[in-house]
Chains A and B, each alone.
Chain A
Amino acid sequence: MIDFFFYLFAFLTLGGALLVVVSRNAVNAAMFLIVSFLGMAASFVLLEAYFLAVLQVLVYAGAVVVLFLFIIMLLDTQGGERKAFKMLPGVAAGFAFVLLIMGVLSIFGSDALTDADSASVVATGSSLKAFGYQLFTTYLLPLQMTGFLLLVAMIGVIVLSKGSGKGGKEDES
């Protein structure tokens, strides 16, 4: 039964992600992104990481995609010119894809997966308290780095939207 649900949700996640990439219509792509996120959240539920599942829906499906849709609708991307294929982004994408495949293969090839008995792994995402405790002790450095990255992105957004210094306030509506 669990296997069936895993395949179902994995199919939703991957199929949704694929359709995001190939959709011509940007609104369709955003909708498939939601499907993909919901599939991922359901996979978290199967792993008994309920808190992560709920956050996945709340933050990504509930807020981030709403912003995507907001931008898509404001920009009105219907019928835009398709850009010609360029060499450099293609090579970069191919390189990234090869790296990704190699990463997945190395995980499967190593003993890390076979060694740990799945029952003995502590599911720190299952209990709120354990999750919070782990986040602020063992994983404090990644947490703070993520926070710092978000701060950098936020400052970047403010700098970009204010323009190059002069007359930046006029398009504030």
Chain B
Amino acid sequence: MDITALLIVLAKALAVVAVLMGFCSYAVLAERKVASWIQGRIGPNRTSLPVISAIPLIGPFLTRLGIFQPVADGLKFLFKEDPVPGHVHKTYYFLGPILALVPALVTVTVVPFGRYIDAEGVVSPLMLANIDVGILFLFAVSSLGVYGIILGGWSANSKYPFLGGIRASAQLISYELTMGLSILPIFLWVNAPGTEGTMSLFRVVEMQSGAWFVLWQPLSAFIFLIALFAETNRLPFDMPESETDLVGGYHTEYGGFKFGLYFVAEYGHMIIGSGVVTLLFLGGWNPLPWVTLADVAGWFGADFHIGITGAVLSVLIFLGKLCALVFLFIWVRWTVPRFRYDQVMRIGWKVMLPLSIANLIFYAVLIAYLDTR
């Protein structure tokens, strides 16, 4: 690989990470805004930039929406004094936030966010690395993210963060199995007899040009979504953090930039998770069930489904679904109360796991019948 190709790959990767970071910061704003709307408040509406806010009508409108709030939040995280408590294990205290953030950024490499059809009609995915074991790679790397939380909790050398870290490890183990089992029916269906086996997410989306998987495997989608809530430590499963009984959970002793890294990592996991749900169950960049972008272009008698416009449209459809799912995450957080810790464990092992195994067996039999008919 020569230097130019390497630089192009690097630029692409940086661009994708930059977009992901932008999404993370605006997901924080969305969280604050949606939370305030649900609670009958207004939310952040004061932060303004010198020039843009001075534009009549648009400026005040954007300010009231809180569009500039993430800039202020980011600057605060960067420049806030960041003292290191004297009683912590220094190495792991510094390692924790990094270990939390890096896996969240690495997983984005295997997420296809759109597709490009060239003049010959060859479809290629828009993604950083189209590898054969896509979804497994994603699970593997994102499962490493928990070390950031465990080590952060342990290194703080005090009781509440420690409990948060312990809870994180137990919760991750409990729901990872369920998560893996819930998507197996999809890959049983994607890898029909006679095809070359693959676990690529791109192939899954291509299979959903007809019925979306959420329509004929609703239980798989439901189980996966619940496991995802648990894996991303979102309410009602935010055991590692649960601020009512653990002060701040694993990040009690963190402040400033290091806390900011944990924060971004949490939202990064949430956004990637929403993207994966979109790809696995909600048809990826297909606008409607049984309707592909090509069909839509056919209605208008145009061919905007190919080339650059098609690629942009597919990315926009994908991001639209992703944002809707992020909204669902936030909506659930401010609506459903937190489970107790023993309830989380009981639900994980005595309800979700048997349910996902039953789901797998049911769809395995059904798919075997359909494939051999």
B166 touches A63 (CB 8 A): no
B144 touches A62 (CB 8 A): yes
In the bound complex, how far is the Cα of B197 from the Cα of A67, in angstroms? 32
Complex interface bits, B152-192 against A, C-beta within 8 A gives 1, otherwise 0: 00100000001001100110110010000000000000010
A73 touches B165 (CB 8 A): yes
- Determine whether B357 belongs to the interface, using a CB cutoff of 8 Å to chain A: no
User: How many residues of A are counted as interface, with CB atoms below 8 angstroms from the partner's CB atoms?
Assistant: 23
In the bound complex, how far is the Cα of B169 from the Cα of A31, in angstroms? 14
Q: Which residue of B lies closest to A38 (CB)?
A: B144
- Determine, out of B133-141, B219-227, B328-336, the stretch whose residues face the partner at the interface: B133-141
In the bound complex, how far is the Cα of B132 from the Cα of A132, in angstroms? 14
- The DSSP consensus for interface residues of chain A is helix
- Determine whether A10 belongs to the interface, using a CB cutoff of 8 Å to chain B: no
Residues in B whose Cβ lies below 8 Å from that of A73 = 150, 154, 162, 165-166, 169
- Smallest CB–CB gap between A2 and chain B, Å? 13
In the bound complex, how far is the Cα of B187 from the Cα of A132, in angstroms? 14
14 contacts between A and B (CB under 8 A): A54-B136, A57-B143, A62-B176, A66-B147, A66-B150, A66-B173, A67-B169, A69-B150, A70-B170, A70-B173, A73-B150, A128-B198, A128-B199, A129-B196
List the interface of chain B (C-beta within 8 A of A).
92, 131-133, 136-137, 139-141, 143-144, 146-147, 150-151, 154, 162, 165-166, 169-170, 172-173, 176, 191, 196-199, 342
- Starting from the known contacts A61-B140, A66-B147, 19 additional A-B residue pairs (CB-CB under 8 Å) come to A50-B132, A51-B133, A54-B140, A55-B136, A57-B143, A58-B136, A58-B140, A62-B146, A63-B143, A63-B176, A66-B143, A66-B172, A67-B169, A67-B173, A70-B170, A127-B196, A128-B197, A128-B198, A128-B199
